């Protein structure tokens, strides 16, 4: 079997650092098929994000790792193309740093270079060409990568891009092979580990790529298997807090409740959070999850008028958002709402109404965003072409944002800024929110961080 070096290229640290779960899952799959695996994380190699010598340290650390590992294959994981903040400019674009990493690798070794991860799957041909890697994997790599390595080792001629298959609902994903030293790093920096209980998404949000990346139906791991992983993380690594990275944690089959019940059945004391859809979350279910360790909710509210919610294809109403928020408040569960302005159907009237509705979310945190990143394969992409914001030949490798033709972005941004002024729990622009989180980290706060804003308000 082969020696394989896996490299996580994600270096984003805000609002908190995120363990490279995808790399751990692929490592588990490779280990299961007999490969010798080494995991390398660029962010952990930096250690201190404020160190101006990080680029040099990364290169030296990578060089040492490659020399010691002497890999037959090197695989890069791309988590994000950019930070989806329309106000950040080139600072929010991550592919240039990834290309620098590729160039560093090329200067050290000529072994085949394979790229994968969710960001790669969004624009595989364009990213492979930009990075100048040898091969790329679209979708899930647990089966595709071991198969690709076997064929390459056997001298089989292959196309540069291969596609991973999707397991059926209930089939096991590869068990993550958590790296103890990396877990220690992320524990020290964020105090959290990550876990995934299911993949896919049946919802039809106009801008979202999850259905393209993971499939248009939920594929759930058995609740017992999910809690087995939690138990191992707690017992073997001392993990006390985790975040479920599912596209959306709550869904109508009650998988989220089954996990909560299993946690309670085992009396497993763990704090956890997740990303929720702000509908069909009643007090009874929230209480059950809270008893099982839920300590805060991140909510994909996305808009605060029924017209703009419909434009985004959300499938719920402002009344649903308010009801969810009220239920969270009644249980003293911190709630953060992600709200995007400037999307389809946004007008000066909806902007005014949406900003006024901030008041109905008092007691929670609001992350406000301006504009929507346009990505291939989404309804928003087709709409942007129809409205002549882009053409079918427009390169989207660098961020292009959608703004409703009926709204002036500059005027809108001023209005959002004014609505947030004097409210520490209303965060806009995103760069200000990230800086505030960074300050909290420097003062020793860990975890989600935004929940501390409610406690301090």
Q: Look at residue 96 in the predicted model and tell me its pLDDT.
A: 95
Is there a contact between 419 and 360 (Cβ–Cβ < 8 Å)?
no
CA distance linking residue 274 with residue 244, whole number of Å: 5
Tell me the per-residue pLDDT of 431-452, one tens digit each, with 9 for 90 and over: 887 888 878 877 788 888 899 8
Domain ranges of the chain: 3-163, 191-456
Q: Look at residue 447 in the predicted model and tell me its pLDDT.
A: 86
For residue 92, count other CB atoms closer than 10 A to its CB: 19
pLDDT tier for residue 53 given thresholds of 50, 70 and 90: low
Output the pTM of the full model: 0.94
Is the pLDDT confidence value at 151 over 90? yes
Mean pLDDT of the chain: 93
Is the pLDDT confidence value at 139 over 60? yes
Is the pLDDT confidence value at 17 over 90? no
Is the pLDDT confidence value at 256 over 80? yes
Is there a contact between 344 and 386 (Cβ–Cβ < 8 Å)?
no
Is there a contact between 27 and 37 (Cβ–Cβ < 8 Å)?
yes
Q: Is 107 helix (H, G, I), strand (E, B) or coil?
A: helix
DSSP category for residue 129: H
Topology of the domain covering 191-456: pyruvate-formate lyase- activating enzyme (3.80.30)
Is the pLDDT confidence value at 49 over 70? no
Topology of the domain covering 3-163: Rossmann fold (3.40.50)
Is the pLDDT confidence value at 175 over 70? yes
- Only one residue has tokens 């089966």, namely 143
User: In the numeric block, which tokens belong to residue 296?
Assistant: 């805060």
Is there a contact between 176 and 25 (Cβ–Cβ < 8 Å)?
yes
DSSP category for residue 383: H
How is 230-290 classified by DSSP, letter by letter?
HHHHHHHH---EEEE--S-S--TT-HHHHHHHHHHHTT---EEEEEE-SSS--HHHHHHHH
């Amino acid at each position: 079997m082969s020696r394989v070096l896996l490299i996580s290229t994600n270096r984003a640290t805000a609002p908190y650092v995120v363990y490279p779960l995808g790399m751990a899952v692929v490592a588990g799959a490779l280990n299961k098929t007999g490969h010798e695996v080494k995991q390398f994380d660029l962010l952990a190699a930096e250690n201190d994000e404020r160190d101006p010598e990080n680029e040099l340290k990364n290169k030296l650390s990578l060089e040492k790792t490659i020399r010691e590992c002497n890999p037959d294959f090197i695989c890069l994981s791309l988590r994000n193309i950019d930070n989806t903040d329309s106000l950040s400019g080139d600072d929010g674009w991550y592919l240039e740093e990834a290309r620098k990493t590729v160039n560093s690798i090329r200067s050290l070794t000529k072994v085949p270079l394979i790229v994968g991860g969710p960001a790669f799957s969004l624009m595989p041909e364009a990213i492979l060409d930009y990075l100048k890697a040898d091969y790329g994997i679209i979708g899930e790599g647990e089966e595709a990568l071991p198969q690709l390595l076997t064929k390459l080792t056997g001298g089989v001629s292959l196309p540069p891009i291969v596609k991973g298959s999707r397991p059926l609902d209930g089939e096991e994903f590869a068990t993550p092979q958590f790296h103890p030293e990396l877990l220690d790093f992320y524990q020290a920096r964020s105090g959290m580990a990550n876990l995934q209980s299911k993949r896919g998404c049946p919802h039809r949000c106009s801008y979202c790529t999850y259905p393209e990346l993971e499939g248009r139906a939920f594929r759930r791991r058995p609740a017992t298997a999910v809690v087995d992983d939690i138990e191992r993380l707690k017992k073997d690594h001392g993990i006390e807090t985790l975040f479920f990275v599912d596209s959306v944690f709550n869904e109508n089959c009650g998988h989220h409740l089954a996990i909560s019940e299993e946690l309670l059945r085992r009396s497993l004391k763990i704090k956890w959070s997740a990303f929720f859809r702000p509908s069909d979350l009643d007090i009874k279910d929230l209480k059950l999850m809270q008893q099982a360790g839920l300590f805060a909710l991140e909510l994909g509210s996305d808009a605060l008028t029924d017209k703009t919610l419909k434009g985004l294809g959300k499938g719920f109403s402002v009344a649903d958002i308010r009801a969810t928020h009220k239920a969270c408040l009644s249980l003293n569960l911190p709630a953060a709402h992600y709200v995007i302005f400037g999307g389809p159907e946004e007008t000066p009237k909806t902007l005014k109404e949406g900003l006024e509705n901030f008041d109905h979310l008092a007691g929670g945190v609001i992350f406000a965003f301006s504009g929507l990143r346009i990505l291939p394969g989404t309804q928003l992409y087709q709409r942007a072409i129809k409205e002549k914001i882009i053409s079918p030949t427009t390169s989207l490798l660098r961020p292009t944002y959608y703004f409703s033709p009926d709204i002036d972005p500059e005027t809108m941004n001023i209005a959002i800024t004014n609505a947030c002024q004097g409210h520490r729990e209303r965060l806009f622009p995103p760069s200000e929110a990230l800086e505030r989180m960074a300050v909290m980290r420097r003062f020793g706060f860990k975890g989600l961080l935004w929940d501390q804003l409610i406690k301090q308000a």
